[in-house]
Amino acid sequence: MGTSVDAPAVVAEEVTDNMLGGKKVTVVFVLGGPGSGKGTQCTNIVEHFGFTHLSAGDLLRAEIKSGSENGTMIETMIKEGKIVPSEVTIKLLQEAMIKSENDKFLIDGFPRNEENRSAFENVTKISPAFVLFFDCTEEEMEKRLLGRNQGRVDDNIETIRKRFKVFVESSLPVIEYYSSKDKVKKIDAAKPIPEVFEDVTAIFAPYAPKV
Ligand code: C5P
Ligand code: MG
């Protein structure tokens, strides 16, 4: 009544087949604020559950070191705590997954914003099995970042504040999006590393290697 445009009868389904380079892949997104322990726990998950860990931040930092044409742009973005355009990050993730002999991936620190999220699904046709969310207070994350001494250009108080702001404004909405799809497994990441890993282990139990 009163509408002149025909609405489509069916809303388009998400087109995801999770195929990449001739293999069917399982992807888990690992999200959480800077300093929430994503990298640390991913190392544990790799060891116990046979996943390959792909850190978007590490891939971007490697790209700077390799002297690629995007290096200067990426470095500027990281120093400012800003999010690098999706096409750059997605290409790095895609290449790493294709090159790997594994078919189970932890993608850490991605998607960081709505553009990351939608571009990844559109380009790769991959949707995550679930999203592991490390929930931690800013106070605790700040303490960890200032104490970790990895020589990173963005672990200074000024950039840390910017990264927190980007996390709240751009990354939390991504977590809310996946929450609405019942895909988020949230973990209290303020606890000590072994206790966090106990919670992680419970979540990954279905992926334990069969013996
Ligand atoms: O995850 P990590 O803390 O290592 O990321 C460091 C920086 O890398 C981010 O603050 C951001 O500048 C950049 N990055 C990005 N897009 C991503 C992941 C990281 O631009 N998806
Ligand atoms: Mg990290």
Ligand found nearest the CA of 107: 1
> What is the reported pLDDT for 150?
94
Q: In ligand 1, which atom is closest to the CA atom of 61?
A: 8
- Which residues of 6-127 form beta strands (DSSP E)? 19-20, 23-24, 26-32, 52-55, 104-108
Ligand 1 site, residue 56, Cβ cutoff 6 A: yes
Distance from Cα 56 to the centre of ligand 2, integer Å: 8
Could you give the percent of the chain with pLDDT greater than 90?
Answer: 89
> What is the reported pLDDT for 87?
98
Q: What is the pTM of this model?
A: 0.93
Establish whether 191 is an annotated binding residue: yes
Q: Contact at 8 Å (CB) between 128 and 183? A: yes
- Name which CATH class applies to 24-202: alpha beta
pLDDT in tens, 126-181: 999 999 999 999 999 999 999 998 999 999 999 999 999 999 999 999 999 999 99
pLDDT in tens, 38-91: 999 999 999 999 999 999 999 999 999 999 999 999 999 999 999 999 999 999
Distance from Cα 12 to the centre of ligand 1, integer Å: 31
Closest CA to 130 of 41, 200, 34: 200
Establish whether 37 is an annotated binding residue: yes
